[in-house]
Chain A
């Protein structure tokens, strides 16, 4: 086994920011808004770095797709302990329509190129909430997948994954190479410390174009309109139970 883990990270609007819809309803406002690494991607990076610290794997390669700014996100992952980065250059215009299908094609191509033993991703991004990239990547590679992982244990050439599912927890054992997606309780990501941020500046980030990987970025989806959720309406107080039942009937609720 190569001992190499590929971790995908996405640059998203910071979770603490109040999102605003653009006046033309074509999307959300991203100009001048704080961005940071998707929280589930942080967890993915942390898991890979932990594996390396325990000497279970040899190298952590972090990859992100997008315009120039995603390099900041790659640097943060390097500061957390990743060894080198890959920036897949996608110009700003095409980035707007970049979705899970194209990203998974890119990741699949890179996983093959880098001979990755594992691909670890966050389970979903907090902007799109798609929860598709990990699964599509596994399908394109025809690799097993351990999604919604809350516990990962490497056992020789297999991986034991405890998954968070609706009814509770499911434990599976899959062969490597495999794709894993990180859920919230997998670990608590470390803060990047200043000395590590300084060291990360010296680590290498390679630039790659999607065309070099044989990937076509054309999107088959078109966003028609983006709206805010409807404003919450004031409640109505009623005097009696009969009034309440009457109002519920009026509203077609019963």
Chain B
């Protein structure tokens, strides 16, 4: 069955909410008695302490770090191993209960909301680092392992996992959302760094996407199922193990900061640095509004103008060359106040502005909340989209300092808004839709790193077009014919 609805999804939130709630009412949750039967089945799988219907526990598992409101599941289960996950899934399949996988709840797109109620599978008890293969640069982890926990575990092996989204997220959750971070320009995103996944499908089938226990660094064997599940946001299966690619800890690091007279100059420098073959590790952009916010927040005195924060990884010798080349390029593009530091303490101070960007933005308007946009465009389109977006911000009367992973053409407007001001909420909503469409018009994507989740499904359809959406829908139906896996997300 091809995906039939081609009309553009309504933009106004209250209308789309009505549309959703009509469907919810007809398919929502179980009767009290039905739930009790299922709960005793769950308890026999993961024990008394492995099942909870407590209101607080359910609320905790119905929200993430996005602005989407809490949508609690009917029950939360805490499996301890893949066999339990499979047994629980079989029960849910038999009773047609939605299954929502939950890692750390640090997502930014409402991915864990139980729109149709159902069962939240909290995977935090499965928290073992399973096999570290130092010579092969790979490791296998369970979903309860977060990226900081893994790097701490690996600290005496000389290896690390560099993908670093803002939160200390579950690595399997990062695989599910195809996460990225400031390091992506050098080390890639989850797409490039997952070698194999163990996944439980809605009917309880346990699947190894690259074959059980296999971890070659590359393979040409069959369809790439691993990358099908990377970014599927829990809509195709529950990830219970991930085999990840590791890298050597850099011998040394240098951080640098440089100011520019314009966004164009900053982006031109970025392009220049990448084209010069400098293996730059991090290249982050802050617009002047953000720099001003950071100055105020941390009592710093960076020039209030578009700024690049850079980080280089390598041996002592290669760092010298990298920094020298980069300084020449930034100078040639009108850059000034080039500062750099080698020792950890000064590096920390230099980068503090970028690290505290979120809080600095919030501090611009105390009492408000923040929402981050997430578009990504080809590098050459970045100056245009940033300039147009800033004009839109001014025209709409919105607060939206910009921070971006400019090396990937990805930037975030940190929208600071008063959630009780309905007019402002509406203006932000319309602004973000315009921004996403602007990115799509410039050959980009509506989401560089955060995922589609709940709020970008209409934009996904615009971005992909009916052909690709049809294939996605077919895949969804093949793997999850009853639509139990995280319903209402992505598609």
Residues of A within 8 A of B (CB): 14, 16, 34, 36-37, 76, 79, 188, 191-197
Residue of A nearest to B345 (CB): A188
Interface string of B258-270 (1 = CB under 8 A from A): 0000000000000
CB neighbours (8 Å) of B157 from chain A are 192, 197
Within the assembled complex, what's the spacing in Å between the Cα atoms of A197 and B249? 11
Known interface pairs A37-B156, A79-B158, A196-B158; 16 further A-B residue pairs with C-beta atoms within 8 A, sorted by A's residue number: A14-B153, A79-B156, A188-B344, A191-B155, A191-B158, A191-B249, A192-B158, A193-B158, A193-B249, A193-B250, A193-B251, A194-B158, A194-B248, A194-B249, A195-B158, A195-B251
Chain A residues, CB < 8 A from B250: 193
CA distance A197 to B159 in the complex (A): 11
Minimal Cβ-Cβ distance residue in A for B127: A18
- 4 pairs of A and B residues whose beta carbons are closest in the complex: A194-B158, A194-B248, A197-B158, A76-B156
A191 to B251, CA, bound (A): 9
* CB-defined contacts of A191 to chain B, threshold 8 Å: 155, 158, 160, 249
For A197, the chain B residues whose CB sits under 8 A away are 157-158
CB neighbours of B251 from chain A (8 A) = 193, 195-196
Contacts of B159 in A (CB 8 A): 194
**Complex CA distance for A34 and B152, rounded to whole angstroms:** 12
In this assembly, does B149 line the interface, its C-beta being within 8 Å of a C-beta of chain A? Answer: yes
Inter-chain contact A16/B249, CB cutoff 8 Å: no
Is there an interface contact between B152 and A16, defined as CB atoms closer than 8 Å?
Answer: yes
B344: chain A residues at CB < 8 Å are 188
The residue in chain A whose Cβ has the minimal distance to the Cβ of B252 is A193
Question: What is the CB-to-nearest-CB distance from B138 to chain A, in angstroms, rounded to a whole number?
Answer: 14
Selected contact of A16 from candidates B153, B156, B158, B248, CB within 8 Å: B153
Q: How far is the CB of B41 from the nearest CB of chain A, in Å?
A: 26
In the complex, how many angstroms separate the beta carbon of A203 from the nearest chain B beta carbon? Answer: 15
> How far is it, in angstroms, between the C-alpha of A253 and the C-alpha of B158 when the chains are bound?
52
Cβ-closest chain A residue relative to B155: A191
A188–B250 alpha-carbon span in the complex (Å) = 16
Of the candidates B149, B153, B248, the one whose C-beta lies within 8 Å of that of A193 is B248
Q: Report the number of A-B residue pairs with Cβ-Cβ less than 8 Å.
A: 37
Binding site for A on B (CB under 8 A): 149, 152-153, 155-160, 248-251, 344
Residues of A within 8 A of B152 (CB): 16
Q: In the complex, what residues of A have CB within 8 A of residue B153's CB?
A: 14, 16, 34
Query: In the docked arrangement, what's the CA distance between A223 and B254, Å?
Result: 50
* CA A119 to CA B159, docked complex, whole Å: 30
Which of A192, A193, A195 gathers the greatest number of chain B CB atoms within 10 Å?
A: A193
Q: What are 26 sample pairs from A and B whose C-beta atoms fall under 8 A apart?
A: A16-B149, A16-B152, A36-B155, A36-B156, A37-B156, A76-B156, A79-B156, A191-B155, A191-B158, A191-B249, A192-B155, A192-B156, A192-B157, A192-B158, A192-B249, A193-B158, A193-B248, A193-B251, A194-B158, A194-B159, A194-B248, A194-B249, A195-B158, A195-B248, A195-B251, A196-B251
List A contacts of B160 (CB < 8 A): 191
Query: Nearest residue in B to A77 (C-beta to C-beta)?
Result: B156
Q: What's the Cα separation between A91 and B152 when bound, in Å?
A: 29
Q: How far is the CA of A192 from the CA of B160 in the complex (A)?
A: 11
Q: What are the residues of chain B within 8 A of A195 when measuring CB–CB? A: 158, 248, 251
Q: In angstroms, how far is the closest chain A Cβ from the Cβ of B126?
A: 13
Max chain A CB contacts within 10 Å: which of B152, B155, B160?
Answer: B155
Give the docked Cα–Cα distance between A14 and B152 (Å): 10
Q: Which residue of B lies closest to A14 (CB)?
A: B153
Q: Which residue of B lies closest to A187 (CB)?
A: B344
- Residue among B156, B157, B158, B249 having the largest count of chain A Cβ atoms under 10 Å: B156
CB distance from A146 to the nearest CB of B (A): 22
| B230 shortest CB reach to chain A, Å | 26
Q: How far is the CA of A197 from the CA of B134 in the complex (A)?
A: 11
Q: List chain B residues, Cβ under 8 A from A34.
A: 153
Q: How far is the CA of A201 from the CA of B184 in the complex (A)?
A: 32
Complex CA–CA separation, A16 to B154 (angstroms): 12
Q: How far is the CA of A14 from the CA of B156 in the complex (A)?
A: 11
CB distance from B399 to the nearest CB of A (A): 36
**Which single residue of chain B is at the shortest CB-CB distance from A15?**
B152
List B contacts of A14 (CB < 8 A). 153
Q: Give the complex CA separation of A194 and B248 in angstroms.
A: 6
Q: How long is the Cα–Cα vector from A195 to B160 in the complex, in angstroms?
A: 14
Give Cα A79–Cα B158 distance, bound, in whole angstroms: 9
Most B CB atoms within 10 A — which of A37, A191, A192, A197? A191
Which chain B residue has the least Cβ–Cβ distance from A73?
A: B156
- Set of chain B residues within 8 Å of A192, measured between Cβ atoms: 155-158, 249
